[in-house]
């Protein structure tokens, strides 16, 4: 379950990551047609209640796993086609750690929500934030949150 190859845990599904070196679903790039992204679409269609896809653009905890160039744009399109939010976890990769402000910038992909921390203050103080697209901001501002603790 924790290997990114599939499974459920606490109301969330884990699915294959974009790791072409050691593909968790047994394919070979580039002939696979980005099967890891297609598998995510398969899960969205068959689960029928998926609200968001959360992705680390460059996975850092299992090694530095950089997905192929087609992966993130395809994932963005899949999320758009199915009305699913794309959330980028940039805690480890944000703030120029990959040579761009955020790792998603390498693919020209704008997530609906981007979470970040650590590099935002050069890890000098504990601080994190979640950035969201303007259309989501209008929705979240209509809901009253008197305080928020992280």
**Cβ proximity of 59 and 24 under 8 Å:** no
DSSP code per residue over 67-94: PPTTHHHHHHHHHHHHT-EEEEE-TTTT
Q: What is the rounded CA–CA span in Å between residue 66 and residue 135?
A: 29
What's the pLDDT at 16?
A: 64
- Compare 120 and 102 and report the one with higher pLDDT: 102
The CATH number fitting domain 7-141, selected from 3.40.190.10, 3.40.630.30, 3.40.50.1820, 3.40.640.10: 3.40.640.10
74 against 5, higher pLDDT: 74
Given this model, what pLDDT does residue 147 score? 54
Model pLDDT, residue 78: 96
**Tokens 């744009």, residue located:** 73
Q: Which pLDDT tens digit goes with each residue over 80-103?
A: 999 999 999 999 888 888 899 999
- Statement: residue 73 has pLDDT above 80: yes
Would the pLDDT of 11 be above 50?
yes
Residues 8-20 have a mean pLDDT of: 65
Sole residue written with tokens 């809901």 = 143
Task: Read off the pLDDT band of 53 (50, 70, 90).
Answer: very high
């Amino acid at each position: 379950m924790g290997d990114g190859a599939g499974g459920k845990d606490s109301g969330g599904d884990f699915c294959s990551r974009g790791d072409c070196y050691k593909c968790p679903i047994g394919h070979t790039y580039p002939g696979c047609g980005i099967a890891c992204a297609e598998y995510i679409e398969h899960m969205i269609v068959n689960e029928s209640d998926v609200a968001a896809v959360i992705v680390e653009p460059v996975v850092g905890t299992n090694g530095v796993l950089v997905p192929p160039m087609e992966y993130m744009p395809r994932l963005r399109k899949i999320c758009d086609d199915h009305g699913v939010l794309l959330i980028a976890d940039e805690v480890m990769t944000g703030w120029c750690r990959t040579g761009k402000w955020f790792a998603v910038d390498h693919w020209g992909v704008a997530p609906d929500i981007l979470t970040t921390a650590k590099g935002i203050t050069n890890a000098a103080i504990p601080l994190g934030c979640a950035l969201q697209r303007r259309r989501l901001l209008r929705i979240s501002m209509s809901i009253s949150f008197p305080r928020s603790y992280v």
